[in-house]
């Protein structure tokens, strides 16, 4: 698939299917797709300069929100998921290199001009699902998956760099803190069993795509500081820059709509699905 074909199938087909049932227990409470327009990965350890890991390359991230653990289990064990959602996955997804994380969201107060202006404008709500964001995946040298202790050590260092370099560029921060449970095997469903594990994913809300340059400067400053403490593995950690596309939000009564599909100027032209799909 081309990148455009992939995005179109993932949003138009898989997104529509995901909201194709009226039973709220058979689908996520909320579902956001983010489509990547740029990214940066750590170098391969013990390899030549600028050599990538074999799994480098991310086109998207998927955020699935659930009410509680019972909802997670009932959703993924439902006949709807088994017979409708599951079979569509192999038509577009790369299971071998999937990066998966079960986490809880922790809003992180950030003291920036952009965050203050966002609040003054009445746009303090960060869960609308249409933002430009950076997703910063943090891995540890020992592949820790429970991120609760790590978050307490890493967040102050990250905030210091963001507040120093990104006053006009970061409007909000949410940390996805890794949680471990034997109630659901993520890798068994989504794949990626041989991939690195991630304890934290910081979601950084940008004022626009032009904020990437200043955020990268802050990232370099942060990584220089955090390396001194031996907290994270810079070879496995990586950052994605992307735009959100809300699939559905059952709490707000928002259902799937093609109108919310993200489009990129470097991917012009009609969709290959225009003559094939009847989704609306």
Query: How far is 236 from 45, CA to CA, in rounded Å?
Result: 9
What sections of 9-128 are H helices per DSSP?
Answer: 16-18, 69-76, 79-80, 113-120
Q: What is the pLDDT of residues 24-33, one digit of tens each?
A: 999 999 999 9
Query: How far is 42 from 104, CA to CA, in rounded Å?
Result: 25
Angle at 204 between CA 110 and CA 138, to 5 degrees: 105
Phi-psi region of 57 (alpha: psi -120 to 50; beta: other; left: phi over 0): left
> Residue 68 pLDDT > 80, yes or no?
yes
What is the chain's mean pLDDT, rounded? 91
Question: Is the separation of the CB atoms in 170 and 114 below 8 Å?
Answer: yes
What sections of 78-147 are H helices per DSSP?
Answer: 79-80, 113-120
Determine what percent of the chain is predicted with pLDDT higher than 70: 96
**Which residues, in sequence order, are bridge partners of residue 170?**
206
Query: How far is 93 from 120, CA to CA, in rounded Å?
Result: 40
* Nearest Cα residue to 168 out of 131, 115, 209, 204: 115
Please classify residue 194 by burial: count the beta carbons closer than 10 Å to its beta carbon, then call 0-12 exposed, 13-18 middle and 19+ buried.
exposed
Sequence ranges of the domains in the chain:
3-260
What sections of the chain are H helices per DSSP?
Answer: 3-8, 16-18, 69-76, 79-80, 113-120, 148-165, 186-190, 212-229
For residue 138, the tally of other CB atoms under 10 A from its CB is 27
pLDDT of 279 reads: 45
What is the CB-side half-sphere exposure of residue 112 using CA atoms within 13 A?
27
pLDDT of 267 reads: 67
What is the phi/psi pair of residue 235, to 5°?
-70, -35
Query: How far is 230 from 258, CA to CA, in rounded Å?
Result: 45
Question: pTM here?
Answer: 0.92
The number of residues in the chain equals 280
Query: How far is 1 from 169, CA to CA, in rounded Å?
Result: 34
For 35-43, what is the mean pLDDT?
93
**Which residues, in sequence order, are bridge partners of residue 201?**
137, 176
Higher pLDDT, 122 or 177: 177
> Residue 278 pLDDT > 50, yes or no?
no
């Amino acid at each position: 698939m081309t990148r455009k074909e992939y995005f179109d199938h993932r949003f138009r087909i898989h997104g529509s299917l995901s909201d194709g049932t009226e039973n709220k227990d058979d689908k996520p409470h909320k579902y956001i797709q983010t489509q990547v327009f740029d990214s940066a990965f750590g170098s391969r350890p013990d390899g030549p300069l600028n050599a990538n890991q074999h799994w480098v390359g991310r086109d998207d991230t998927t955020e699935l929100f659930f009410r509680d653990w019972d909802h997670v289990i009932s959703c993924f064990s439902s006949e709807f998921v088994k017979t409708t959602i599951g079979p569509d996955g192999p038509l577009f997804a790369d299971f071998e290199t999937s990066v998966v994380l079960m986490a809880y969201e922790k809003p992180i107060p950030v003291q920036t001009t952009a965050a203050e202006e966002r609040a003054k404008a009445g746009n303090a709500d960060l869960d609308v699902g249409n933002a430009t964001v950076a997703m910063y995946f943090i891995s540890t040298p020992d592949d820790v998956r429970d991120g609760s202790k790590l978050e307490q050590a890493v967040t102050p260092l990250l905030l210091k760099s963001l507040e120093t370099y990104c006053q006009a560029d970061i409007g909000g921060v949410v940390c996805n803190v890794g949680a471990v449970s034997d109630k659901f095997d993520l890798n068994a469903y989504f794949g990626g069993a041989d991939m690195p594990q991630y304890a934290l994913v910081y979601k950084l809300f940008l004022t626009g795509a032009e904020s990437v340059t200043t955020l990268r400067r802050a990232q370099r400053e942060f990584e220089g500081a955090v390396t001194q403490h031996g907290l994270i593995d810079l070879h496995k950690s990586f950052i994605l820059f992307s735009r959100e596309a809300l699939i559905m939000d059952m709490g707000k009564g928002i259902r799937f709509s093609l109108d919310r599909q993200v489009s990129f100027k470097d991917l012009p032209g009609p969709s290959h699905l225009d003559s094939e799909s009847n989704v609306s």
